[in-house]
Amino acid sequence: MHPDWKSESQHLERIVAFIATQLKGKLGEKERLVHQQKDINKDMWEEVRVMKDLESISEFMQYIGLLKQNISWSKQTMKDIVRLDRQLSSPYFGRIDFVREGSADPEKIYIGINSLTDDDTMDILVHDWRAPVCSMFYDYETGPASYLCPAGRISGELVLKRQYKIEGGRLVYFFDSSLAIGDEILREMLASNAGAKLRNIVSTIQKEQNAAIRNETSRLLAIQGAAGSGKTSVAMHRAAYLLYRHRKHIKAENLVIMSSTDILGEYLSDVLPELGEDEIKGVTFVSLARKYMPGINLRFQTHPGLMEKLLGLAHTPYGRKIREVIRFKSSRAFLGILDRFFEYALERLIRFEDICFRDRNIITGEELSALFRRDFSGMAPADRLRRMETRVNELIRPLKRMRQAQQARELLDGDAYLSASEARALSRLRLRQEMEPVEQQLARMFSVSALTLYRRLFDDDDAWNACVDEHDSPGEDIARAVRDYTLENMQSGILGFEDAGPVLYLSLLLGETGPDTTVKHLIVDEAQDFSPIQAKALARLFPEAGITILGDINQNISPYASEGNLEGIARLISPDNHEFMQLNKSYRSTVEINRFASGFLEAPGGEFFGRHGEKPGIFLCGDYSRMCDALAQFLTALPGKKYKTAAVITRTLADARVLYKALQKPVKDLPLPFRLMDEDFEYDLEGIMVMPSCLAKGLEFDAAMIVFSDGRDYSDPDEKGLFYTAVTRALHDLSVFCPTADLPPALRKASYRHYTITRV
C-alpha cells in the first residue's frame, strides 16, 4: 500500500463531507425558493386583484420583479446542485505539488472538473482544470515548470504529480506519474465501451491536446488531426475553456459549434453540461443558412442528401458530370466569379428609372443612380436601396395627401348624399388603385434578393460571359452543365447544398443578411468538407468571432464539394492572423484497427496509442444472401462481448435500408436495440445501428461492421476518404463483410498482415 494512502483517504473524506454539507444547504435553498415563489404568487393575486390606478400597476410590477429574481436564483441554485452532486461522486482526478520560485513550501493543488471553494476561509479546495495553474498538470513532468496567468509567468518546480480514480466518493486507487498523463488511466478509459454521448476527457487530456484547447495566440486556430486523435473532444473542451477564460464576455449563447450533421450535434450535447457549462446545440451549415436567410422559399439540400444523390449516381455518366459541376461550384475559381458577379450586378442589374405620379416626375433615374452609386456608396447595397426608398416615399407622401384630398372633394361635389367620412374612405381606395403601378415600380427597383441575382448568373448569358473569364472557365461542356443543373434544381424548388454557401455569401455582400456580432467564437468541426465559399461566408457572417476549425484531410468524404486543406481554409479566412496545429496520435481504435485503416492512406503516418485487440476480419461471402446470414450470426455474438454500441455501415442510405430490412427478422430477439439511422434519427446512439457511411462521420462505436453491397463499393478514387472514415469508427472490433468471393478493389490496398480473411 502507498505510504500516503491513509492521508489521501482522509483528505478525500473531508472534501466529500464538505461537498455533502454544501449540497444539503443548496437543497434547502431550493425548497426555500419554491415556497417563496408560491408566497409571491399568492400575495400578488390577493393584493393586486384589479389594477385600477398607477399605484396598483406599480405594485404589480414590483411582484413581477420579485418573481424574475426568484426564477434567476432558482436556476443558479439548480446548477449548483447538479455540480455538487457530480463533485460528490468524484471531486478531483489529479494533484500537483508546486514550489514557486522564492518559496520553500510546496503548494498542494487538487484538480477537478469544477472548482470548490470554502467561502468562510476563501481556500480553494479543488481547482477547475481550466485554471491557468492546472495547465502544468498536462504540460510538465516533475521538475522545472511554469504557467502563464494574468500576473505574468509564474515559474518554479513541480515536485509531485498524482492521478486518482474516485468513484462514488471513495478512493479506488492513485499513483504518481512523472509523465504528462499516466497511460494506465488513459488505457482504462479507452478500453471501456462507448456510450450514447461523447464523453469528456478532462482527466486524460494529452499535452498536444491541452495546447490546442488553451491556444489564444491568433484569431483563427486550425487543427489538423488524425482519425481518433480527439479533435471533436478538443473542440468541446476548447469551448468550455473559452467560456471559463472569458466568462465576463462570452456566454453559451455567444458560441456557435458547427457539426456535419444534426446527429453528430446531438452526440456532442452532453459534454459541456458535464463540464459545468450550459449546453450548446450543434448546428449544421444548412441550418445556419436557413436561420440567416429565412426569406428563401426553396428546400435546402443537406450534405447527407447531396452525398446520397452522388453516391447513387456515381457509376453513371450523369453522376460523374454532376460531380464535376459541384467540384467547379466549390472551387476558388467560382469564388472569384461570385465576387465579379457582385460588382457586375451593382453596375448592370440594379437599374433605376424615372418615378412619375400623374404625369409629374417625382425623381429621375439619373438622380436615383447618383444616390446609389455616389451619395450612399459607403453603405451596403441593400441598405442603400432601403434608404432610397424612404427618400422617395418622403417625396411622394405630400403628393398622395393632396391627391386624396382632391378626390374626396370631387366625390362630395359629385354626390350630395355622400358623407365626408365616406368620401375620405372612397378616396383612400381610389388612391391605392392609382398608386399600385408606382408601388410595383418601387418594389421592383428597391428590393434586392441574393437568390434572384444568383439565379440570374446562370440564366443570363451576358452576366455569365461577363463574369467567367478564360482562366476560371471549366470548359464549355461543364459550364453548360453547371448552368443547366443549377437552374433545374431551383425550378424544382431545391437549393442545392453546393449553392447554399454562394447564396449566403451574396446575401452578406448585398447586406440583405447582416453580420451577427453577438457571436464571439465559432467552432467548425469536420472543416475539411467545407468549400472556400462556405468558409468566406462564415467569416463574413461572424466578423467579430474568434474561429477554431478542426478536421482531417484523410476523412474528406466529398472532395468534389470542399477545399480539403485546412491550412488553405485558414489562410482564406484570416490571411494574417491564423495558426496551424497538428494532432498526430490516434487514441480511439486499437493498434490493429489503426494499422489496417492506415493502409488505405496515400501517405500513412502518425502514431497509435498502444492499446491492442484482435485484427480486423474480412468476410468474403460469395453472394448477398450468405453475407446477410454471416452478418446476422456476427451480430448475435455482440451482447456476449458486453458491447453497448455497434454500427453496421453501408455505402449509401439506400443500401442501409435494404440491409436493415434483411436483418430485422434474424436479430429481432437480441437484447440490444436494432435501428436504421437516417438524417432524422432521434434516438441515443446505443444498440446496433444500420447507417450510411456519411452519417457515421465523427461518431465512435464499440464495434463497426463495414458492409459492401457489391464489389464496386468505394472503388471510385473520390470515395477513399469516405471508406477511411468508415473503417476508423470502431474502438475495439472492426469487420468487413463482402458479397463477393474475392477481395473487392477497394480492399486490395490493405496489407494482408493486418487482417484475417474468412470465406463463408
H, E, C per residue of 626-655: HHHHHHHHHHHCCHHHCCCEEEEEECCHHH
Q: Is the pLDDT of residue 51 over 60?
A: no
- 198-293+514-587 against 591-759: fold identical: yes
Terminal Cα-to-Cα distance of the chain (whole angstroms): 53
Q: How far are the Cα atoms of 483, 486, 619 from residue 457, in angstroms, in the given order?
A: 8, 10, 51
499 closest CA partner among 369, 620, 362, 325: 325
162 closest CA partner among 178, 147, 183: 178
Q: Is 472 helix (H, G, I), strand (E, B) or coil?
A: coil
348 closest CA partner among 269, 232, 465: 465
Mean per-residue pLDDT over the chain, rounded: 90
Lowest mean pLDDT among 33-47, 235-249, 372-386, 703-717: 33-47
How far apart (Å, rounded) are the C-alpha atoms in residues 700 and 189?
14
Q: Is the pLDDT of residue 50 over 80?
A: no
List, for residues 201-238, the tens digit of each pLDDT value. Answer: 787 888 899 999 999 999 999 999 999 898 989 999 99
pLDDT at 112: 94
Lowest mean pLDDT among 32-46, 289-303, 567-581: 32-46
List, for residues 446-456, the tens digit of each pLDDT value. Answer: 988 999 999 99
Lowest mean pLDDT among 20-34, 334-348, 486-500, 727-741: 20-34
Q: Is the pLDDT of residue 186 over 70?
A: no
Q: Is 89 helix (H, G, I), strand (E, B) or coil?
A: helix
At 58, the pLDDT band (50, 70, 90 cuts) reads: confident
332 closest CA partner among 573, 531, 614, 488: 531
310 closest CA partner among 677, 558, 679, 553: 558
Q: Is the pLDDT of residue 200 over 80?
A: no
- φ, ψ of residue 517 in degrees (nearest 5): -85, 0
Burial 351-371 (b: 16+ CB within 10 A, else e): ebeebebeeeeebeeebbeeb
The fold of the 591-759 domain, in CATH, is Rossmann fold (3.40.50)
Q: Is the pLDDT of residue 184 over 80?
A: no
5 closest CA partner among 235, 215, 174, 178: 174
Mean pLDDT of 265-274: 83
The amino acid that residue 742 corresponds to is D
pLDDT at 196: 61
Lowest mean pLDDT among 42-56, 201-215, 374-388: 42-56
Contact criterion met (CB below 8 Å) for 535 and 563? yes
278: which 3 cell numbers? 450550459
pLDDT at 177: 76
Q: Is 335 helix (H, G, I), strand (E, B) or coil?
A: helix
List, for residues 410-448, the tens digit of each pLDDT value. Answer: 888 887 678 888 888 888 888 888 889 888 989 888 988
Lowest mean pLDDT among 451-460, 597-606, 676-685: 597-606
Contact criterion met (CB below 8 Å) for 579 and 543? no
The residue that leads in pLDDT, 602 or 46, is 602
Q: Is 736 helix (H, G, I), strand (E, B) or coil?
A: strand
The fold of the 198-293+514-587 domain, in CATH, is Rossmann fold (3.40.50)
How far apart (Å, rounded) are the C-alpha atoms in residues 599 and 616?
12
Domain boundaries of the chain, sorted by first residue: 5-89, 198-293+514-587, 351-447, 591-759
pLDDT at 430: 87
Contact criterion met (CB below 8 Å) for 654 and 644? no
* Strand residue runs (E) in 15-122: 94-100, 107-112, 116-118
Q: How far are the Cα atoms of 47, 65, 493, 596, 658 from residue 62, in angstroms, in the given order?
A: 12, 5, 52, 68, 63
Q: CA angle, 526 as apex, 523 and 527 as ends, to 5°? A: 70
β 730-738/617-620 pair status: parallel
The residue that leads in pLDDT, 381 or 266, is 381
List, for residues 146-173, the tens digit of each pLDDT value. Answer: 999 888 999 999 999 999 999 999 999 8
pLDDT at 268: 82
Q: Is the pLDDT of residue 681 over 70?
A: yes
Which residue has cell 437599374? Answer: 351
- φ, ψ of residue 110 in degrees (nearest 5): -85, 140
DSSP assignment string, 387-422: HHHHHHHHHHHHHHHHHHHHHHHHHHHH-TT--HHH
Q: Is the pLDDT of residue 284 over 50?
A: yes
Q: How far are the Cα atoms of 42, 480, 599 from residue 673, in angstroms, in the given order?
A: 48, 49, 33
- φ, ψ of residue 173 in degrees (nearest 5): -165, 165
pLDDT at 346: 94
Q: Residues of the chain with pLDDT > 70: what percent? A: 95
707 closest CA partner among 643, 625, 639, 648: 648
Q: Is the pLDDT of residue 564 over 60?
A: yes
* pTM for this prediction: 0.89
At 53, the pLDDT band (50, 70, 90 cuts) reads: low
Contact criterion met (CB below 8 Å) for 580 and 570? yes
Contact criterion met (CB below 8 Å) for 608 and 228? no
Mean pLDDT of 665-686: 91
At 180, the pLDDT band (50, 70, 90 cuts) reads: very low
Q: Is the pLDDT of residue 143 over 50?
A: yes
Mean pLDDT of 529-543: 95
β 546-551/94-100 pair status: unpaired
pLDDT at 212: 93
CB neighbour class for 483 (10 Å; exposed up to 12, middle 13-18, buried from 19): middle
Mean pLDDT of 516-522: 96
Lowest mean pLDDT among 58-67, 533-542, 674-683: 58-67
Side-chain-facing half-sphere of 758: CA atoms under 13 Å = 14
DSSP assignment string, 232-281: HHHHHHHHHHHHHHTTTT--GGGEEEE-SSHHHHHHTTTHHHHTTS----
pLDDT at 405: 87
pLDDT at 185: 61
The residue that leads in pLDDT, 209 or 184, is 209
